[in-house]
Amino acid sequence: MSVRTIARKDLADASRSKALWAVTLIVLLSTAGITTLLAVTSDMPAGEVFSLSFQLGGTMLPIVALVLAKGAITAERESGSLRVLLSLPPSRRDVLVGKLLGRTALMLVATLISGFVTGFVVLTILGGTFGLLAAFIGFLGLMGVAFVAIGVGISAGSSSDSRATAVAVGAYMILVALWNLIQSAIQYGAVELGLMTEGSAPAWMKLVGLFPPNRAARAAYRNTVGGQLFGTDPFASVWLPVLVLLAWILVPVTIGYLRLRDAQIG
């Protein structure tokens, strides 16, 4: 009851923020725009264009999700409205879960709009199945939710909005912008330490490649489209990347909750 009320309040409040919509719109228009450009100018099949578009979305949507989510708790903490909410019956957990649901709904709306616009463009120009579109939108959506959860977790665990922003930017840099570099560094280090031979790809190294939510989502999409829903190789499967995504939804929020539970709301 409390959770739903808070989620609805948050949706009403956040969806009235013009800045939020402006950022979302710019990102979505650029994603859809670049995809359209690709679809019109190249002679790639629809599946390939979707894949490139997914990669683009995997770079752009995480920043939208993090910006949208990182203030979920800290902004209320700084304005003092969290004190009002916590003076009422809802517990800190209710507030956190309500906020998570509210921001998730907002992110899903943004992703659905962008996914449908992009998908519509691709399907109209190049043709292709709706199954392709469903997988495209579905995993893009799941990735968005994972980044919202990371953002809300960061927000719950931070004592100020500026700190939450810094941690969110850091998370984006590590998970999205710099992951190629980090992966190479890990690979190089592992070879140096004799943990693996050069050119080989042990399972744990593959897992490193699958670690960030955007990588996991892309793998899930590729593997779905590749028709390996029930393959024996976990890295060619859909379930492993989906499991990684679910972990990204649960773990940061849980850590954030534990920190918020013990925080001084002064």
Partner 1 sequence: MTGPAIEIDGLSKRFGDVTAVDSVDLTVESGEIFGFLGPNGAGKSTTINLLLDFVRPTSGSASMLGLDVSKDRETLHSRIGVVPENYGLYDRLSGRRHVELAAKLKDADDDPDELLDRVGLSQEDANRAAGDYSTGMSQRLALAMALVGAPDLLILDEPTSGLDPNGARELRDIIRAENDRGVTVFFSSHILEQVEAVADRVGIMNEGELVAIDSIGRLRRQLDTGAQVILDVDRKLERNLGDIPNVRDIDVDDETVRGTCVEPAAKLRFIDRVRELTTVTDVRIEESSLEDLFASYTGEDTTDSQTETVVPGGVA
**Is 88 a binder of partner 1 (CB under 8 A)?**
yes
Least distance between partner 1 and beta carbon 160 (Å): 14
Under rule CB under 8 A, residue 19 binds partner 1: no
Q: DSSP letter string over 127-142?
A: ---HHHHHHHHHHHHH
Nearer to partner 1, 1 or 193 (CB): 1
CB of 61 to partner 1, least distance (A): 24
Among 27, 53, 76, 248, binds partner 1 (CB under 8 A): 76
> What crossing angle do the helices spanning 92-126 and 2-14 adopt, rounded to 10°?
50
Min CB(118)–partner 1 separation in Å: 30
Q: Torsion angle, CA of 156/157/158/161, rounded to 10 degrees? A: -20
Number of residues that bind partner 1 (CB under 8 A): 28
80 touches partner 1 (CB under 8 A): yes
83 sits near partner 1 (criterion: CB under 8 A): yes
Q: How far apart are CA 82 and CA 95, in angstroms?
A: 9
**Cβ-Cβ contacts under 8 Å for 221 (sequence gap 6 or more):** 50, 51, 54, 135, 136, 139, 140
Q: Which is nearer to partner 1, 29 or 84 (CB)?
A: 84
Is 89 near partner 1 (CB under 8 A)? Answer: yes
* Token code pair at residue 60: 């752009």
Please give the residues from 218 up to 257 whose contact with partner 1 meets the rule CB under 8 A: none
Per 3-state DSSP, the chain is made up of helix, strand and coil in percentages (nearest 5) of 80, 0, 20
Positions that interact with partner 1 (CB under 8 A): 1-2, 5-6, 9, 12-13, 16-17, 76, 78-91, 262, 264-266
